[in-house]
Amino acid sequence: MGKSQFTLSNQVSRNKTSSQKEFDMTHLVQTAQNVAMVILKEAGSRARRLVKSMAYAPLLLASAAATAADPPVTTQIVDLANKLNGVHPGFRAFHAKGIVAEGSFKASPEAAQLSRATLFNGDTIPVTVRFSDGNGMPNVADGSPAGNPHGMAIKYQLPGGTATDMVTNSLKFFPAGTAEDFRDLLLAIIASPPDAPKPTKLEQFFASHPNAPKAFGTAATPDSYADEKYHGINAFIFVSNTGQRQAVRYQLVPEKLVHLTPEEAAKQSPDFLSDELTKRIAQKPVVFHLKAQLAEAGDQTKDGSQPWPDDRKVVDLGVLTLDRLVPNSLEAQKKLLFMPTNLTNGIELSDDPLPIARTTAYAVSFGRRSQPGLVSSGRDDFNARTSNAPTQASTVSP
């Protein structure tokens, strides 16, 4: 398989923050627009008919207001994802296609100095990990630009039957800092087909949110789910045994980082990432280092679209080892829900609003995929398109 291999240091240099390196905005905007066009094209090719809006019975954190005339912004986001990618009963609105692995995590001594969380006490902690492609189409080709960014969600099984989650993706930072901005980004993508008048709604959004195209510019197709670096785009607060508080952002760092060029990615089979992981993990365990980038005084924590400088200290929190896939990944994924706010003592939310918004949106999506027929909030302007169901077995997620 042809590939372009980078060291981690080289990859960081390629993705400098705006304070360190001037971005070619024309190129980044065009790249982001191309990704949006691919998503619109692939969603349109699968859409077959409009479905009548239905009332939605909210689940978990989604309230009854989700069915109101003016639903919460998180419900609007899920509606827009369904409109953009199509409605696929039983599948997630975002990161629909994926594969589930299992293994363990063992923390480093440095982790216990930063946080009193049981997760970091040095015991071997069982984990369930879901790798995924980025959009809401369960049959998206792994090598398509529409498959970016890729995701890695982790559920740590703690003593006493509890769990804590981490939800990361391959963007170095997020294209929007609030749920409202992310909703507006989705609206702009939908309103910017190839024949849209200039400047398109997407171009206008990028002009007012210059970090959005920069964020998209940090994503690329890896040669393996195991050869990608994943970022926890939101800030969390570690609390130590002495009560010391430290803002952090997570990183999941592979043993090597390998990205394909767009031309190489286009030549791969549709499910090459899942197929490759299946073969790889049967031969040897997949290893990641969980790391934390530490904020310094003055670093803001409330906006996931604003990365911290690359020179901030990074601490190795421990080793995550995956040694097997679950027997029936498709069915396993239907029962899994990863929530950024599912924390444990010693790890707290910061003032970043996105973890709560993400959890609420995931709950809306989980409720719909768990109850066939419940596909929208009931608003006529969020009518969703439904697609043909997958006709062959594949490692796709609900």
Q: How far apart are CA 29 and CA 34, in angstroms?
A: 9
CA-nearest of 111, 145, 151 to 132 is 151
Cα-based distances in Å from 337 to 41, 104, 168, 361: 29, 19, 14, 11
Report the topology of domain 4-379: Catalase HpII,  Chain A, domain 1 (2.40.180)
Tell me whether residue 259 is one of the annotated catalytic residues: no
179-234 tens-digit pLDDT:
999 999 999 999 999 999 999 999 999 999 999 999 999 999 999 999 999 999 99
Asked if residue 175 has pLDDT above 70, the reply is yes
236-239 and 286-294 as β-strands: parallel, antiparallel, unpaired? unpaired
Whether the bond between 353 and the residue before it is cis, its omega within 30 degrees of 0, is: no
Neighbours of 57 (CB within 10 A): 13
* Tokens at 302, concatenated: 């409330």
* Tokens at 132, concatenated: 């995924």
Please name the residues in contact with 76: beta carbons below 8 A apart, sequence gap of 6 or more: 183, 377, 382
Task: Give pLDDT, residue 45.
Answer: 43
Asked if residue 322 has pLDDT above 80, the reply is yes
Contact 76, 382 (CB under 8 A): yes
Whether the bond between 149 and the residue before it is cis, its omega within 30 degrees of 0, is: yes
Task: Give pLDDT, residue 35.
Answer: 55
**Region 267-272 average pLDDT:** 97
Q: List helix spans (H) across the chain.
A: 8-14, 25-46, 73-85, 109-114, 179-190, 201-208, 211-216, 262-266, 272-283, 329-335, 354-370
Lowest-pLDDT choice from 33-47, 132-146, 330-344, 354-368: 33-47
Q: Which of 88, 95, 231, 259 is catalytic?
A: 95
Q: How far apart are CA 17 and CA 361, in angstroms?
A: 29
Please name the residues in contact with 148: beta carbons below 8 A apart, sequence gap of 6 or more: 35, 133, 134, 170, 216, 219, 220, 221
